[in-house]
Amino acid sequence: MEYEISDKLKSVHGSAIREIFELLKKGGIISFAGGMPATLTLPAKQIDGILQNLVSKYGVVECLQYESTFGKALLLEQLKKFLPEYKGINAELQNMIILSGGQQGIEFMCKTFVNKGDVVLVENPTYLSTLQIVQTYEGKAVGVNSNNDGLDLADLEEKIKTHKPKFLYVVPTFGNPTGGTYTAENRQKIAEITAKYEVMILEDDPYSEIRFEGKAVPSVKCFDKIENVVYLASFSKIIAPAMRIAVAVANPAIIGRFNISKQSTDVCSSSISQLVVAEFLKNNLSEHLKNIIPIYKEKRDQMVKCIDKYFPKSFKYQSPHGGLYVWGYFDDDRDLLAAFKDVVNLGVAYLPGAHFFPDGSGKNTMRLNFSNATLEQIEQGIKAIGEYFS
Amino acid sequence: MEYEISDKLKSVHGSAIREIFELLKKGGIISFAGGMPATLTLPAKQIDGILQNLVSKYGVVECLQYESTFGKALLLEQLKKFLPEYKGINAELQNMIILSGGQQGIEFMCKTFVNKGDVVLVENPTYLSTLQIVQTYEGKAVGVNSNNDGLDLADLEEKIKTHKPKFLYVVPTFGNPTGGTYTAENRQKIAEITAKYEVMILEDDPYSEIRFEGKAVPSVKCFDKIENVVYLASFSKIIAPAMRIAVAVANPAIIGRFNISKQSTDVCSSSISQLVVAEFLKNNLSEHLKNIIPIYKEKRDQMVKCIDKYFPKSFKYQSPHGGLYVWGYFDDDRDLLAAFKDVVNLGVAYLPGAHFFPDGSGKNTMRLNFSNATLEQIEQGIKAIGEYFS
């Protein structure tokens, strides 16, 4: 039979990044396209240790029965320590809900607040999955001008007035895709401007622990005076993606709405994943970060060094102070979307930056992920891309 | 600030069953309200065995990295054996997607097919979370008359003609809430009628392995001639709810749409959960079912015996041939919604059946879950309820 797809899904064609990921799994390609943490940094031994006799240790109800939709008490208790210590955020139980990955928080935010035709303000460029999720709720993503230091505040205020957006989505620390980090002053102003117009913010913060240099900057949530900020922390990058565990921090009224949305989808997040994250936060995280940050820094250094060596001078970028990505553009107007397949045929993949722009611009931009390639692969891959574009 | 909730969520007030579950967690109450498998049947030792050295055994990428949204190859391969053997359904890789619990399949079905105002046909009564999910997509659930042998086929055809529904949702085997099982003939006719009008079916089948007596009946999917049936199998009841693992089986075009929806929410299901289910299907399921079915049967027998002994004769029910629930009603028009809190104060909880009716009728009905109470608790609880209503 013919399937009649709903209005909200019929124009959505899947995440480019996920399709590229499936393509590249066929092997033999050096990929800077994904956003995966370095496989060698994933804490295999620690997690095997946690899994050892897990059910005997915690008991059958804790490990195997249905769990509260809000999340496991054991994990929420750990988060009450983790959030102030690592994120500078205080959260009580009523302010938190466990998510099956940070992206579920973006989806719940759209479900809770976006009606057909509503505007969501985003950075320009922004995380591409957010663009897809806004689209599945028939909203419209509008970009706010931004650079590596933060949002253009005049443009933000202007676009709030023009579009009356439902919320502003930001990744202020080691942003995806740009790797940029907003200044503390920019964050404070964003909090003030959105508070003035009572516009909500979704602050997505999966990368901030992976800092190579410079001082931590307070989150936008730290400047939240009217409880308009919903904050997402994820454990995909600092523990392991396959856990699918994150947390949303917000006013209890919003957490209650997210709870209703979660009742309607996965009911609760995997208990074993929640217990692994709880144990890891308690016993392993601080040591683990000390071990992995130098590895990421070395990869970042290598990528930057190789770009300087092999890329034409028309490629402009800033070295990120943390996170997983180098972002840049050619100032001579090349089409990196069109060149993508040619470059993949050379055995290397970048991510065309155009996917991150709500208006489809940015054809001359690219995102390069340095976390999941070896130093040798980084040299070999960046050399191949550089030579192709020279 | 004031939060302005989206149209789709503002009238949704949370699952009654989840709220009752939170209430009853405070302890000391014999609960027949939930739908939890018997804690003592949950395979603690087998799962501890599978978790032992899991990461060393399967490797860090398989256990800890991002995974394909469609699901793990290792689990999908096991499902290619499980589905024909246990469900009589053949499925190739392109026909399957792993879900984070069966309910995620109900949500994806609504997201993929339901526009605002669209009708979804359901059994009358039906699974209450389906009513909530349809509501969050601004659809309208309309009940088709049904009894323990299946749907009223004339009413089904009539309601298809009147409402042009987007799909029909059914739990044909040991249904929730009624415990009833459609006859093979009824299933075949449902497949024929829906095929005639090109109406899709969502067949939800989480309970069929838990059969105490009688012969297995083919699924509606087995009679599917035009690929209008989306079939859901879950491992919450036969392995463990906390895994949050299920599978949808359908035409590849629909699986592709579910994949896009899953990209926008949890990206992939927990890898550890997927590996546990894959190993369990391979090595433990058949033995495990042999062990747990007699335990469930004994509980069912006890509940039926106690109802006959302690309930007034105005309570009408049929003993289910499998599953987790006894469903019944008082033929003297009592209000079991109104009585619920009184009965909870006596230390025992049933689930008011009205929650399962799309039109809010069924105030004289109740669902009694027998799986997660001891034989002694069943006697004590059924006696208390029976005496209250006598």
DSSP state of B353: G
pLDDT of A59 reads 97
Contact by Cβ (8 Å): A149, A180? yes
CA distance B278 to B273: 9
Is pLDDT at A16 greater than 70 in this prediction? Answer: no
How many other CB atoms are found less than 10 A from the CB of residue B187?
24
- Residue A229, classed as helix, strand or coil, is strand
Query: Which chain A residue's Cα is nearest to B244?
Result: A270
Banded model confidence at residue A15, pLDDT cuts 50, 70, 90: low
Q: What residues contact residue B161 under an 8 Å CB cut-off, 6+ apart?
A: B197
pLDDT of A88 reads 96
How many CA within 13 A on the CB side of residue A288? 22
CB contact under 8 A, A3 and B253: yes
pLDDT of B290 reads 97
Q: What residues contact residue A211 under an 8 Å CB cut-off, 6+ apart?
A: A174, A293, A321, A322
- Which residues of A are less than 8 Å from B132 in CB distance? 263-264
Q: Which of A386, A198, A262, A10 is nearest to B111 (CA)?
A: A10
Contact by Cβ (8 Å): B1, A191? no
- Which residues of B are less than 8 Å from A56 in CB distance? 44, 48
Task: Encode pLDDT of A232-271 as tens digits.
Answer: 999 999 999 999 999 999 999 999 999 999 999 999 999 9
pLDDT of A94 reads 97
**Closest chain A C-alpha to B150 CA, distance in angstroms:** 25
Is pLDDT at B17 greater than 70 in this prediction? Answer: no
Task: Encode pLDDT of A287-329 as tens digits.
Answer: 999 999 999 999 999 999 999 999 999 999 999 999 999 999 9
Banded model confidence at residue B20, pLDDT cuts 50, 70, 90: confident
**Closest chain A C-alpha to B362 CA, distance in angstroms:** 23
A16-20, A205-209, A339-343, A366-370, range with the lowest pLDDT: A16-20
- Which residues of B are less than 8 Å from A253 in CB distance? 3
**Mean of the pLDDT values across residues A203-213?**
97
- Inter-residue long-range contacts of B39-43, CB under 8 Å, 24+ positions, other chains counted: B39/A60, B39/A61, B39/A64, B39/A65, B39/B372, B40/A60, B40/B295, B41/B291, B41/B292, B41/B295, B41/B296, B41/B371, B42/A60, B42/A64, B42/A65, B42/B240, B43/A64, B43/B239, B43/B240, B43/B280, B43/B284, B43/B288
Mutate to test the interface with B, among A54, A272, A274, A369 (most CBs of B within 10 A): A272
How many other CB atoms are found less than 10 A from the CB of residue A316?
13
Please calculate the CA angle A333-A335-A341 and round it to the nearest 5 degrees. 155
Contact by Cβ (8 Å): B231, B221? yes
Contact by Cβ (8 Å): A37, A237? yes
Is pLDDT at B60 greater than 90 in this prediction? Answer: yes
Query: Which chain B residue's Cα is nearest to A72?
Result: B242
Mutate to test the interface with B, among A24, A25, A31, A264 (most CBs of B within 10 A): A264
CB contact under 8 A, B51 and A56: no
Task: Encode pLDDT of B311-365 as tens digits.
Answer: 999 999 999 999 999 999 999 889 999 999 899 889 999 999 999 999 989 999 9
Task: Encode pLDDT of B216-261 as tens digits.
Answer: 999 999 999 999 999 999 999 999 999 999 999 999 999 999 999 9
Task: Encode pLDDT of B261-313 as tens digits.
Answer: 999 999 999 999 999 999 999 999 999 999 999 999 999 999 999 999 999 99
**Closest chain A C-alpha to B113 CA, distance in angstroms:** 5
Q: Where are the beta strands (DSSP E) in B240-370?
A: 246-249, 315-317, 325-330, 348-349, 351-352, 365-369
- Residue A26, classed as helix, strand or coil, is coil
A181, containing H or E segment:
none
pLDDT of B10 reads 86
**Closest chain A C-alpha to B389 CA, distance in angstroms:** 30
pLDDT of A12 reads 85
Is pLDDT at B18 greater than 80 in this prediction? Answer: no
From the DSSP assignment, how many helices (H) and strands (E) are in chain B?
15, 14
Nearest to B56 among A48, A107, A257 (CB): A48
CB contact under 8 A, A60 and B51: no
Contact by Cβ (8 Å): A204, A170? yes
For chain A, list the domains and their CATH numbers. Answer: 7-43+287-389 (3.90.1150.10), 66-283 (3.40.640.10)
Is pLDDT at B70 greater than 70 in this prediction? Answer: yes
pLDDT of A35 reads 86
Task: Encode pLDDT of B146-196 as tens digits.
Answer: 988 999 999 999 999 999 999 999 999 999 999 999 999 999 999 999 999
Is pLDDT at B16 greater than 70 in this prediction? Answer: no
Is pLDDT at B12 greater than 90 in this prediction? Answer: no
Mean pLDDT of chain A: 95
pLDDT of B135 reads 94
Query: Which chain A residue's Cα is nearest to B52?
Result: A52
Quote the tokens at residue B150: 């299946």
Query: What backbone phi and psi angles, to 5 degrees, belong to A203?
Result: -100, 115
Query: Which chain B residue's Cα is nearest to A256?
Result: B14
